[in-house]
Every structure is written in structure tokens, then in C-alpha cells.
Amino acid sequence: MAVLAAAPVRAQSSGGAQRVLDGLAACRAITEAGERLACYDKASAALEQAVKQNDVRIVDRADVRRARRSVFGLNLPDLGLLGGGADRGETDQRETFSEINTTVRSARPGANGRGEITLADEGNPVWQTTDAMPFPPKAGAKVRIRKGTMGAFFLNVDGRSYRALRLR
């Protein structure tokens, strides 16, 4: 399970999310049971309030993995919101996707003989081949998209490989 701060909180130098976590950590150092319990009550109330105000979001690894998969192929800046701690000097232990295997929801011919393929994944991502694709695949066909070098992607479907880019 991970605790993520919303972008506005992350931008603050002494943000609320870190303050909430520091409050919980400080309670462990208290030796007297009654004081420690009171501290945890106060800290848990602050955490609950931060979650209700969407300053802090608690997600599990499956949610992070699903989010990473949904942005595969998009050219996005690394904001550090999907795991890792490189900005805090920690080693980055993010699971990276070098390929995805899924099925075609729909496909149609695009401009200049290119194919436009909508995948059956969550969010219905749309990919376009940069090579000519004379016969777009049928719905339900298995497709593999893998990351190449220098930001290129390769889409394999029906035994053929095409260079591709993600549109949306």
C-alpha cells in the first residue's frame, strides 16, 4: 500500500501529506501508553481529514500498476506520483512496462494507409501505425505492443510488426 499526495500538496515545501506522516511517526517515540494512544488518535484524525480533503490518497500496488499500464505509450513527464523515490534520493523500484499484451477492440484504416487501433484495455487507448497497414486487424485479435529504442513502439498483430505511436 502506498500513500500519495495530490499534486498541490506535493508542491508545498512543508506539505500537509508529509506533516501527517511525520505526526504518525512521532507517536511511535512516545513510551507512555496513554500519551501514545492520544497521539495516534490525533494523528489518525489528521490523516482521515487529509484523505477526505483529497490532500492524501491511499492506493495499493495493483492501482499503481493499473495506472502505469494505462499511460503506456504516452509521452508524459515523470512527476513521481506513480511510485519510486528518486526525488528523495531513494532507488527507483518502479515496475516498468516494456510491453503490453492485449486484444483489439476495434480497428479502422487511417490516413495514408496507416491503421488506427483501439485496444480493449481500460480507457480504450488508441494507437496508430506509422507504417502502412493495408488490412487492419479484426476485433478480438491478439496484439503486443513493445517499447523500442529512442521512444519508438512496435505493434505486433496477426504475425506482422508495425511501428506505432499512441494517439490517446
Q: How does residue 12 score in pLDDT terms, banded at 50, 70 and 90? A: very low
What's the grid cell of residue 127?
Answer: 494507437
> Does residue 55 share a domain with residue 7?
yes
- Tell me, yes or no, whether 45 lies in a domain: yes
Contact residues for 151 (Cβ-Cβ < 8 A; gap 6+): 75
Sequence-distant (6+) residues with CB within 8 A of 139 are 104, 105, 106, 107
Q: So what's the pLDDT on residue 81?
A: 61
Say how many C-beta atoms besides its own lie within 10 A of residue 3's C-beta: 15
163 forms beta bridges with: 154
Question: What is the domain extent for residue 133?
Answer: 99-166
Question: Number of structural domains, the chain?
Answer: 2
* In-domain check, residue 84: no
Instruction: Let me know if residue 40 belongs to a domain.
Output: yes
Q: Do 54 and 110 have their domain in common?
A: no
Residues 103 and 152 in one domain: yes
Contacts of 26 (CB under 8 A, 6+ apart): 39, 43
pLDDT digits (tens, 9 = 90+) for 119-137: 888 788 998 888 888 888 8
Q: What is the pLDDT of residue 99?
A: 83
Q: 24 lies in a domain?
A: yes
What local confidence, expressed as pLDDT, does residue 95 receive? 58
Label residue 51 by pLDDT band (50, 70, 90).
confident
- Indicate the SS3 state at residue 5: strand
Query: Against a cut of 0.75, is the pTM above it?
Result: no
Is position 112 within any domain? yes
For residues 26-38, one letter each, b for 16 or more C-beta atoms within 10 angstroms of the residue's C-beta and e for the rest, the string is ebeeeeeeeeeee
> Does residue 86 lie in a domain region?
no
Question: What are the counts of helices (DSSP H) followed by strands (DSSP E) for the chain?
Answer: 4, 8
Side chain identity, residue 35: E
Within a domain: residue 87? no
Count of alpha carbons within 13 angstroms of residue 164, beta-carbon side: 30
pLDDT score of 144: 92
Rounded Cα distance between 114 and 22, Å, is: 53
- DSSP lists the bridge partners of residue 166 as 127
Rg (CA), the chain: 22
